[in-house]
Structure 1
Amino acid sequence: MDASKAQSLRARRNDRDTAPQPDHSITDNDDHHDRLSRQFGAVSPDVHSHSADSVITLALFILAAALRFYRISFPDQVVFDEVHFGKFAAYYLRREFHFDVHPPLAKLINAFGGYLAGFDGHFKFDQIGDKYLENNVPYVGMRALPAIIGSLQVPLIYAIMRQSGYAPVIGVFSAALLLFDNAHIAQDRLILLDAPLILFMMLSLYSYIRFYKLRYNEFTAQWWAWLVATGVNLALTMSCKMVGLFTFMTIGTAVAWDLWKLLDIRRGLQIEHVARHFFARFFALILLPFGVYLFWFWVHFAILIRSGPGDVFMSSQFQQTLTGNPMLSNARDIQYFDTVTIAHKNTKALLHSHVERYPLKYDDGRISSQGQQVTAYPHNDTNNVWQIVPTKSIPDDDAKARTVQHKDTIRLLHVNTNSYLLTHDVASPLMATNEEFTTLAANDTSRYDDTLFELFLDEADGPDKTVKSQASWFRLVHKNTRVCMWTHSEPLPDWGFNQQEVNGNKNAMDKTCLWYVNELTPSPDSPDLDERLKPLPPRKVVKMSFLKKWLELQLQMLQQNAGLTQSHPYATGPINWPFLLQGISFWTKDEGQHQIYMIGNLVSWWGTILSISIFVGVLGADLLARRRGIYPIPSAVRNRLHHSTGFFVVAWACHYLPFFLMSRQLFIHHYLPAHVCACLVAGGVLNFVASETIQFPISHPGPLLTPKHFRPRMDNVVPKQARAVMGVLVAAMVVCFWWLSPLTYGTPGLTTAEVHARRLLPSWTLHFAK
């Protein structure tokens, strides 16, 4: 382009299109505004000091509480996942150990609510629809705590927007997107985990914004206070659910970007100074949160000191730390020639055999050995009894020498049919890749080697390697073929009486290959028979270090969480969530056609996803325009859009996109944290569309500022036309909320025609719609 054309092009640009000059101090426009503020003695406003903000905050809380507490006593029955989380609260109050894939904090909060309400843990929340009033459960008080926590989220979203420099009307609009959302209300008024999770997530965002605004007052007491508050809130978020990691990702992304800017040589900071910033954040945002996270597990273990339903997920050493665990009261040394029943750790089915044989030919055409069937059976039966036979010389008068030890080679004699357990290179009935298990007559010595099994204890690190009833988990590995005895829950056909198949698993280290001795009958020839028949004396619980217990539980949580892959009629993929293609049926009652269907407010959810789309579109168009030397957005407005609204978009992406990588069972309520972030995005985008102004300065001036750049102070002015549009949008949200409210509250009951009218999308699976 020649000089005359370039001059002509520049002449057509107005002030708005003028390209900004490079800033060698690498500061954003908020820096300029703060310097101006310092130059003229202005004080950066603390938005929460204004009485109007206080009134709005209080009003939002009252409205949110009113919507969440409305008829909170209905229904007086167990609803949806109250089956699980109400049950966990009861276990805490009874101090019985239980297992769950989630960290303990939110469950402890529910238990605390039950304690305050006077609940003693007697009710077990067994099934959806179980009656609360008939069982004297103070369920209203238990539901009240998450409802209060959920109510706090609405004024907090307003506070986040105000601290981020948006006008009160924009803050109210973002808050309204959450205030009138049916999905959040339905979730918050039940004994569930999401209300504290989302509150702590929002507090993390709020704390970090307050910290970032103090960046010109580094290492002051207030700077440290908000940095530490960010770390503590991050820890509390993750202590509720593992998805709190997504909040760590959000703050971590912002911190990494901030440190990257500090590292720039043009900032003029010494590397030692940058290192101070790094280690301050490392302490407050990694070490401190880890300590807080560990603390709630310490509380968890300190409360749950009694044996409970969660024992079976833990190691035998862990179980023996619990009062009343069967491993403490029933653990006896096993000796050769004792008769035992052997149970599978995962399915609890007992090793079983009977005279019936495998069919010669299976339905798929494969051929069996036609040997005696070996199965797993969940009920007591004389065909569950086996005798442990040695393969080496055993002294008659030395009880210790007769005990079964880790790595012993043994044989198992089925008592009723007088035949030895055997496996061989023949495919099992249900799995062609696994070996068939059968038996061999005791008087047949021709295949002796095929009846030999090595016994490996799962936990053989300690000095005592004796196999004990109830307390020892072990693997039985075939001496010749090296397969491990295994069973699974799929039943055999009718010819196997629908019992579980037992076969040889080639992966001998599979964690589901573990068995234990369930019942023990000492051999009449035992040299210490009289002593073994006496009742066992009470035993003290075994000590186990906190970190070892925590690590074992943490690994189990991750493993079990990844294993939640079963199908569910209301499970949905992440792609469906922002568009509300399907909800979840929480509860139904045929009489009166009542139902609670968890579904969001269409105006709120569709509006927020539209806002994210607009942000992406504006960002892309701006980048393309700037590539061509055109600057359509004022630099101050552009920076606020990128730094503030962009931060909210990152938060939304971090809380939503990772679900696409998960193979576990997912539901629409997993989107609720991301929806809150989307409400923040909607406010930022609306402000960008509606106003050409921003509020600044919003950061606190400090000693690091120098008066190099001056800009006049600006207020964020939202035109009346934009306020009118916002009013219409909020009114539409209110109408949608009111229309769907019978599905949110479960009352009043609706006729079939009324239910059908509320089925706003054909994919919604409402009850009583036909």
Structure 2
Amino acid sequence: MAPKRAAKSSKASKAPIIESPEEKTTEFILEPGLMRQYPKSDLSDEISNNRVLHSLKERILVALLVIFALIVRASNLYNPNSVVFDEVHFGGFAKKYIKGAFFMDVHPPLAKLLFAAIGTLGGFKGDFNFESIGDVFPPNVPYILMRQLSAFMGIGTVLFSYFTLRSTGCSQTVSFFTSSLLIIENGLVTISRYILLDSPLIFFIAGTAYFYTRTEICKPFTINWFKYLCLCGVFLGFSVSSKWVGLFTFAWLGLTNLIRLWFLLGDLNVSIPTLFKHTAFRGIILLLIPAIIYITSFYIHLLVLTHEGDGAAFMSSAFRIDFDDSTVPRSTSADVGVSSIVTLKHFNTNGGYLHSHDHLYEGGSGQQQVTLYPHLDENNRWIIELYNVSSEPFEFVPITDGTKIRLKHMITGRRLHSHDVRPSVSEMDWQNEASCYGFEGFEGDPNDDFIVEIVKDHSIKGESQERLKAIDTVFRLRHAMTGCYLWSHETKLPKWGFEQQEVTCASQGIKPLSLWYIEDNVNIYLPLDAEKNGYKQMTFIQKFIELHKKMWHINNGLTASHVFESRPLDWILLKRGISYWALSPHQIYLLGNPIVWWPASFMFIGYGIYLAILLFKYQLGFTLSIDENTFTFNYNTVIFLLGWFLHLFPFFLMERQLFIHHYFPALYFAVLALGHLFQLITSIFKKKKVIVYFIFGLMFTASLFCYYQRLPLTDGSDWTIEKCEATKWFSTWDYDCNNFPYGSAQNNIPANADTNYNGMKFDSALKPQEAAQQANLVGEPGQFHQVDQQQPIKIANEQVAAPEKDEL
């Protein structure tokens, strides 16, 4: 049986300057075998050549695409001239990179480093804090230049989508049309206008997909094949190094390679050694290059951040000692004894040091608060006393395993205390309150007594397992009267406790949460040449591991509710968006373009029905004919819907706070799959092009209408309440139309917006400096800027609660 082959051009290697738009881009060849037919796994030279840019006409098409994208994505970036949404965080991180101040964030550093580099090139000296949404940029902040990074990466994503569709078998017309739809997707436009991580992330994911598809049209093991495989690895590394969502891209690429290897296995022309070469080269390149980039990004991150910043408190003291201005003692007296003045550090949480201050519990016994505090402070200092000695000895007396002691707070003079009283916050039967108690002249009582129990398997071998040594000995403090252990967890006290970490005395609970060690120790009875202890300097790998543990832990703890959070099913339905910024009479609200969003998001349903029909036809005995168009459609649709699924499904398993912008990587793959549906329609109606152009024209017109209809929500331009209300298809699209005036936005200003600040109008009830900071809610978390959690933020005529300070 003769193989079905596409006709080959004798001039395939020499592409003409201008080609017909009807160039053949699909191919499916069945080769005859001894036992069975098998599909050929590589493409002919003609088809491979037709899937890349080579004609003048196509270059003109790409140029038009770039111009259209520039108009939509890179215009009016100066508006608004104040901080928008998570620019609070990522602009703030750029400032901290420039200042070299260490910070804690749940995202890898690459994209943030890029924003900092652009800011530095633009002359930013780190003298603007990006403190609050609505803060007006001073002239010396190159915020437009920093926003241009996002904008041009958004344009790059559009180009990658075009070339990806072309390299997977779509025609020039279909690729141009699909990429044009991507340009006017309102949600993607919004995230590409501001200093946010999403645009760089999607750009790197799009580059990963494109360079992988280029390997599929190259002859294996040629220079071009290796080049594109390496570029795929580079962009995969960039993706993972910008956000951990890149790990979903890594999973997609792994499964896509397995599918490709399965086809190679079915091609009888591919030998087993060749199959092993494919596996080895793909595995090594796509693992090694991303790993190198990822680790290097963290190396640069730590190299740049040389000063203690607000994030240093999250890290261990051993991590912190390498900062130029570290406040952690680099060495301290090793031997701990009676009369030692010590600081005790909790072994297992980020809470920090055992701390007290001259403030009382509001509840419980009403005695002096005992907390964990992450910063070095004089209120962290305690004096060790023996339980039965009223005056201190005039010689050094070591503290050994089993010694009964009291801890006297140096500043207030009260002693660490516990009793059978429930804590003010964790009102559990197995927890007792930990407090400080006493008054002038009071010598203490038995409820002040704690027994030192050295935990030998956590302490350094040798003397540290027998008597207290600073840093080297890990111990527990058992309350002599009740048997409970001094204990802490990550529960925070309310504002009356300054939101510091709760300390209790627990008779149950997780043992590691009752572990302590001494970081600083001063004892006047030790000789001048007494032994010193200090933290051992950490290697880069040790810091890398610790940093990732903290990032993972913080990310998993982002479970607080948020007024604009949404769940994955809401994303597919486009149920709601996020209010980014509001300053009457303007607003920016993140929302997708439904004409693009819904067909892409629900394509999996139509494709599932299509596969079910094929399966039933097969079971009923119908002959299933596979031509080159349906094969190309099925293969690439499966690949891209797999990308959509892998970038969406993991969020269904997460309990953390989620927002609609988490859906955009999945949406990108869904649009690529939609492009192949358009290609299938083109092949079905190839003799009736009028129908194809009518469908494309109708969809593009509807998409463009939806884009321009909600453009004021995308770029913060003028609008009216009537036009705003007309765009609200659903009540869950909760942007505030009362934020806009009636009639002409230029001539009919609402009464509550008659004040002008740098050309922007806002509530006249506010002072100018307050109005400049009028904003809506932060979204992404983790980013630890100071926000009064009880202070409402005014959005137009609404009052909504401000988000939690430690949101990610």
Shorter-normalised TM-score: what interval? 0.7 to 0.9
Q: Could you tell me which residue of structure 2 aligns to residue 701 of structure 1?
A: none
Q: Distance in 2 between matches of 1:463 and 1:50?
A: 77
Alpha-carbon shift at residue 205 of structure 1 (Å): 0.8
CA root-mean-square deviation:
4.1
1:110 correspondence with 2:109: no
1:611 correspondence with 2:615: no
Residue 133 of structure 1: SS of its match in structure 2? coil
Q: Could you tell me which residue of structure 1 aligns to residue 39 of structure 2?
A: 28
Q: Distance in 2 between matches of 1:463 and 1:147?
A: 60
User: Within 5 Å, which residues of 2 pair with 1:512-523?
Assistant: none
Q: Could you tell me which residue of structure 1 aligns to residue 8 of structure 2?
A: none
User: Within 5 Å, which residues of 2 pair with 1:315-714?
Assistant: 315-328=316-329, 336-339=338-341, 346-347=350-351, 351-352=355-356, 372=367, 374-376=369-371, 386-390=382-386, 410-414=405-409, 420-423=415-418, 427-429=422-424, 430-432=426-428, 433-438=430-435, 451-454=450-453, 476-478=476-478, 481=483, 483-486=485-488, 490-491=492-493, 501-505=502-506, 506-510=508-512, 526=525, 543-590=537-584, 593-631=585-623, 634-692=626-684
Deviation string 1:570-590 (CA, Å, 9 cap, x unpaired) is 110000112211110100113
Q: Which amino acid is 2:173 matched to?
A: V
- More displaced, 137-146 or 501-510? 501-510
1:73 correspondence with 2:78: yes
1:179 correspondence with 2:183: yes
Q: Could you tell me which residue of structure 2 aligns to residue 301 of structure 1?
A: 302
1:740–1:29 distance in 2 versus 1, CA, 3 Å: farther
Q: Could you tell me which residue of structure 1 aligns to residue 17 of structure 2?
A: none
Q: 1:86 aligns with which of 87, 91, 104?
A: 91
Indicate conservation of the 8 Å contact 1:53/1:168, yes or no: yes
Q: 1:731 aligns with which of 690, 698, 701?
A: 701
1:721 correspondence with 2:718: no
Q: Which amino acid is 1:672 matched to?
A: F
Alpha-carbon shift at residue 239 of structure 1 (Å): 0.8
Q: Which amino acid is 1:246 matched to?
A: F
1:235 correspondence with 2:237: yes
Q: Distance in 2 between matches of 1:603 and 1:56?
A: 23
Q: Distance in 2 between matches of 1:357 and 1:133?
A: 44
Alpha-carbon shift at residue 343 of structure 1 (Å): 7.6
Residue 722 of structure 1: SS of its match in structure 2? helix
Q: Which amino acid is 1:668 matched to?
A: I
Deviation string 1:372-394 (CA, Å, 9 cap, x unpaired) is 55533979999976422257999
Indicate conservation of the 8 Å contact 1:316/1:472, yes or no: no
Q: Which amino acid is 1:478 matched to?
A: R
Q: Could you tell me which residue of structure 2 aligns to residue 157 of structure 1?
A: 161
Deviation string 1:633-683 (CA, Å, 9 cap, x unpaired) is 643232112211221111111111111111111100001111111111111
- More displaced, 738-747 or 296-305? 296-305
1:177–1:410 distance in 2 versus 1, CA, 3 Å: farther
Alpha-carbon shift at residue 257 of structure 1 (Å): 1.9
Residue 356 of structure 2: SS of its match in structure 1? strand
1:228–1:598 distance in 2 versus 1, CA, 3 Å: same
Alpha-carbon shift at residue 224 of structure 1 (Å): 1.7
Alpha-carbon shift at residue 420 of structure 1 (Å): 4.4
Q: Which amino acid is 2:383 matched to?
A: Q
Q: Distance in 2 between matches of 1:114 and 1:414?
A: 47
Alpha-carbon shift at residue 317 of structure 1 (Å): 1.1
TM-score, normalised with respect to structure 2: 0.76
1:551–1:414 distance in 2 versus 1, CA, 3 Å: closer
Instruction: Name structure 1 gaps, 5 residues minimum.
Output: 1-19, 363-369, 694-715
1:114–1:662 distance in 2 versus 1, CA, 3 Å: same
- More displaced, 413-422 or 166-175? 413-422
Alpha-carbon shift at residue 621 of structure 1 (Å): 1.2
Q: Distance in 1 between matches of 2:717 and 2:278?
A: 54
Alpha-carbon shift at residue 238 of structure 1 (Å): 0.6
Q: Distance in 2 between matches of 1:154 and 1:488?
A: 44
1:541–1:422 distance in 2 versus 1, CA, 3 Å: closer
Q: 1:256 aligns with which of 258, 262, 270?
A: 258
Alpha-carbon shift at residue 311 of structure 1 (Å): 1.1
Q: 1:49 aligns with which of 21, 42, 54?
A: 54
Q: Could you tell me which residue of structure 1 aligns to residue 723 of structure 2?
A: 754
User: Within 5 Å, which residues of 2 pair with 1:7-22?
Assistant: none
Residue 112 of structure 1: SS of its match in structure 2? helix
Q: Could you tell me which residue of structure 2 aligns to residue 764 of structure 1?
A: 733
1:498–1:48 distance in 2 versus 1, CA, 3 Å: closer
Residue 61 of structure 2: SS of its match in structure 1? helix
Alpha-carbon shift at residue 483 of structure 1 (Å): 2.9
Q: Distance in 1 between matches of 2:646 and 2:498?
A: 50
- More displaced, 296-305 or 271-280? 271-280
Q: Which amino acid is 1:434 matched to?
A: Q
Indicate conservation of the 8 Å contact 1:235/1:293, yes or no: yes
TM-score, normalised with respect to structure 1: 0.80
Indicate conservation of the 8 Å contact 1:409/1:454, yes or no: no
Alpha-carbon shift at residue 295 of structure 1 (Å): 1.5
Q: Could you tell me which residue of structure 2 aligns to residue 700 of structure 1?
A: none
Residue 242 of structure 1: SS of its match in structure 2? coil
Deviation string 1:108-133 (CA, Å, 9 cap, x unpaired) is 11111111211111212111111112
- More displaced, 337-346 or 604-613? 337-346
- More displaced, 625-634 or 21-30? 21-30
Q: Distance in 2 between matches of 1:563 and 1:768?
A: 34
Report the identity percentage: 30
1:596–1:272 distance in 2 versus 1, CA, 3 Å: same
Q: Which amino acid is 1:627 matched to?
A: Q
Q: Which amino acid is 1:651 matched to?
A: G
Alpha-carbon shift at residue 218 of structure 1 (Å): 2.4
- More displaced, 405-414 or 63-72? 405-414
Alpha-carbon shift at residue 756 of structure 1 (Å): 2.2
Alpha-carbon shift at residue 137 of structure 1 (Å): 1.2
1:107–1:163 distance in 2 versus 1, CA, 3 Å: same
Instruction: Name structure 2 gaps, 5 residues minimum.
Output: 1-29, 739-796, 798-808
1:626–1:381 distance in 2 versus 1, CA, 3 Å: closer
Deviation string 1:286-337 (CA, Å, 9 cap, x unpaired) is 1222122112112212222222222112221111121111115796766642
Q: Distance in 2 between matches of 1:309 and 1:652?
A: 37
Residue 585 of structure 1: SS of its match in structure 2? strand
Q: Which amino acid is 1:28 matched to?
A: P
Q: Distance in 1 between matches of 2:39 and 2:499?
A: 71
Q: Which amino acid is 1:615 matched to?
A: Y
Deviation string 1:541-600 (CA, Å, 9 cap, x unpaired) is 97432211111112221121111111111110000112211110100113xx11100111
Q: Could you tell me which residue of structure 2 aligns to residue 143 of structure 1?
A: 147
1:423–1:747 distance in 2 versus 1, CA, 3 Å: same
Q: Distance in 2 between matches of 1:331 and 1:717?
A: 85
More RCO (CA 8 Å, sep 6+): 1
Q: Which amino acid is 1:621 matched to?
A: I
Residue 618 of structure 2: SS of its match in structure 1? helix
Q: Between Structure 1 and Structure 2, how many residues are aligned?
A: 694
Q: Distance in 2 between matches of 1:753 and 1:408?
A: 77
